[in-house]
Amino acid sequence: MHRIFLLWLLLFISGQSYAITTDLAVDASSEFNSLVNQLPKTKLRNMAPLIEQISQIQEPHTRDILQFMLDGELYFLKTNKQVVRAQAIAYKLYQLTDVLTEQSLADVKKSRISKIKTNNRLRSTLRSIIAKIDLTDKNKQVRLQAVQQLLSSPSKESTAIITELIDNEKDEYVQALMATTLSLQQLKAGDFDEKIEALTQLSGSLEPTVKNEIISLLANLPEKELTAEQQILKDVLSSTLDEIEIQASFYSALETVFFGLSLGSVLLLAAIGLAITFGVMGVINMAHGEMIMLGAYTTYVIQLAFPSMIEYSLLIAVPAAFIVSGTAGVIIERGVIRFLKGRPLETLLATFGISLILQQLVRTIFSPLNRQVISPEWMSGSWQINPIFSLTFNRLYIILFSIFVFISLLLILKKTSLGLHVRAVSQNRDMARALSIKSDWVDAITFGLGSGIAGVAGVVLSQLTNVGPNLGQAYIIDSFLVVVFGGVGNLWGTVVAAMSLGLTNKFLEPVTGSVLANIIVLVGLVLFIQKRPKGLFPQKGRSAD
Amino acid sequence: MNTPITEDSTKQPLFRSTNPLHLTIGILFITTLLVTLGNLIFPESSVLHVSDYTVSLLGKYLCYALLALAVDLVWGYCGILSLGHGAFFTLGGYAMGMYLMRQIGDRGVYGNPELPDFMVFLNLTELPWFWAGSDSIVWMVCMVFLGPGLLAFIFGSLAFRSRVSGVYLSIMTQAMTYALMLAFFRNEMGFGGNNGLTDFKEIFGFSLQSPNTKLSLFVATAVILALAYCLCHFIVKSKMGRVVTAIRDSESRVRFVGYKPEHYKLWIFVVSAMLAGLAGALYVPQVGIINPGEFSPLNSIEMVIWVAVGGRNSLYGAIIGAIIVSYAKTRFTAIMPEAWLFALGGLFVLVTLLLPKGIAGLIPSIKQKFAKTSNSAEANS
CA distance B263 to chain A (A): 16
Task: Please indicate whether, in this complex, the C-beta atoms of B164 and A530 are within 8 angstroms of each other.
Answer: yes
Measured CA to CA, the distance from residue B306 to residue B185 in angstroms comes to: 27
Residues of B in contact with A480 (CB under 8 A): 171, 174-175
**pLDDT tens for the 545 residues of chain A, in order:** 565 555 555 555 554 544 444 555 556 677 777 777 777 777 777 777 787 777 777 777 777 777 887 777 888 888 777 888 888 777 778 888 877 777 777 777 877 788 877 777 788 778 777 777 777 777 777 777 777 777 777 677 777 777 777 777 777 777 777 777 777 777 777 777 777 777 777 776 777 777 777 787 777 777 777 777 777 877 888 888 888 888 888 888 888 999 999 999 999 998 998 888 887 787 888 899 999 999 999 999 998 888 888 888 888 899 999 999 999 999 999 998 888 887 888 888 899 899 999 999 999 898 888 888 888 888 777 887 777 788 888 889 999 999 999 999 999 988 999 889 988 888 888 888 899 888 889 989 999 999 999 999 999 988 888 888 888 888 888 888 888 888 877 888 899 999 999 999 989 988 888 888 888 988 888 888 888 878 888 776 555 44
* Tally of domains in chain B: 1
Residue B93 lies in a domain: yes
Residue B159 lies in a domain: yes
Measured CA to CA, the distance from residue B335 to residue A383 in angstroms comes to: 55
Among all residues of chain A, which has the CA nearest to that of B82?
A345
The DSSP element (H or E) to which A151 belongs, if any, is helix A140-152
A248 touches chain B (CB under 8 A): no
Task: Please indicate whether, in this complex, the C-beta atoms of A353 and B344 are within 8 angstroms of each other.
Answer: yes
- B272-311 pLDDT, tens digit per residue, is 999 999 999 999 988 888 889 889 888 898 898 899 888 8
Task: Please indicate whether, in this complex, the C-beta atoms of B162 and A360 are within 8 angstroms of each other.
Answer: no
Measured CA to CA, the distance from residue B220 to residue B203 in angstroms comes to: 13
- A4-33 pLDDT, tens digit per residue, is 555 555 555 554 544 444 555 556 677 777
Find the CB nearest A349 among B175, B297, B352.
Answer: B352
Measured CA to CA, the distance from residue B76 to residue B91 in angstroms comes to: 23
Best probe of the A interface among B349, B351, B353, B355, by most A CBs < 10 A, is B349
Task: Please indicate whether, in this complex, the C-beta atoms of B304 and A349 are within 8 angstroms of each other.
Answer: yes
Task: Please indicate whether, in this complex, the C-beta atoms of A353 and B167 are within 8 angstroms of each other.
Answer: no
Q: Which of B309, B283, B327, B326 lies closest to B144, judged by CA?
A: B283
Contacts of A84 (CB under 8 A, 6+ apart): A74, A75, A76, A77, A96, A97, A98, A99, A105, A113
Q: Which CATH fold topology does A262-376+392-531 show?
A: ABC transporter involved in vitamin B12 uptake, BtuC (1.10.3470)
Task: Please indicate whether, in this complex, the C-beta atoms of A345 and B81 are within 8 angstroms of each other.
Answer: yes
Residue ranges of chain A assigned to CATH 1.10.3470: 262-376+392-531
Instruction: Check residue A8 and give its pLDDT.
Output: 56
Among all residues of chain A, which has the CA nearest to that of B158?
A530
Residues of A in contact with B81 (CB under 8 A): 345, 348
**348-367 of A, contacting B, C-beta below 8 A:** 348-350, 352-361, 363-364
**128-147 of B, contacting A, C-beta below 8 A:** none
Among all residues of chain A, which has the CA nearest to that of B75?
A345
Residues of A in contact with B308 (CB under 8 A): 349
Contacts of A160 (CB under 8 A, 6+ apart): A128
Best probe of the B interface among A473, A526, A539, by most B CBs < 10 A, is A526
Q: Give the mean pLDDT per block of 10 residues along chain B (381 residues).
A: 40 53 81 80 75 86 93 90 92 91 78 78 78 82 92 91 83 89 85 82 80 87 91 91 90 90 92 94 90 88 88 86 90 84 87 83 75 62 49
Find the CB nearest B170 among A348, A360, A518.
Answer: A348
Find the CB nearest A336 among B175, B347, B349.
Answer: B349
Helices (H), B311-357: 315-335, 337-354
**Helix, strand, or coil (residue A371):** strand
Task: Please indicate whether, in this complex, the C-beta atoms of B171 and A516 are within 8 angstroms of each other.
Answer: no
B153 touches chain A (CB under 8 A): no
A523 touches chain B (CB under 8 A): yes
B154 touches chain A (CB under 8 A): no
A522 touches chain B (CB under 8 A): yes
Residue B5 lies in a domain: no
**182-211 of B, contacting A, C-beta below 8 A:** 182-183, 185-186
DSSP category for residue A462:
T
Residue B33 lies in a domain: yes
The interface pTM score, or ipTM, of the predicted complex is 0.81
Q: Which of A422, A448, A498 lies closest to A270, judged by CA?
A: A498
Task: Please indicate whether, in this complex, the C-beta atoms of B346 and A353 are within 8 angstroms of each other.
Answer: yes
Question: Phi and psi dihedrals of A91, rounded to 5?
Answer: -60, 115
Contacts of A87 (CB under 8 A, 6+ apart): A73, A94, A95, A97
**50-89 of A, contacting B, C-beta below 8 A:** none
Question: Phi and psi dihedrals of A115, rounded to 5?
Answer: -75, 145
Residue B254 lies in a domain: yes
Residues of B in contact with A527 (CB under 8 A): 158
Among all residues of chain B, which has the CA nearest to that of A284?
B167
Average pLDDT over all residues of chain B: 83
Cβ contacts from A onto B, under 8 A = 111
Best probe of the A interface among B82, B168, B194, by most A CBs < 10 A, is B168
Measured CA to CA, the distance from residue B102 to residue B135 in angstroms comes to: 5
Q: Which of A330, A329, A350, A335 lies closest to A441, judged by CA?
A: A330
Among all residues of chain A, which has the CA nearest to that of B306?
A349
Residues of B in contact with A516 (CB under 8 A): 186
CA distance B251 to chain A (A): 15
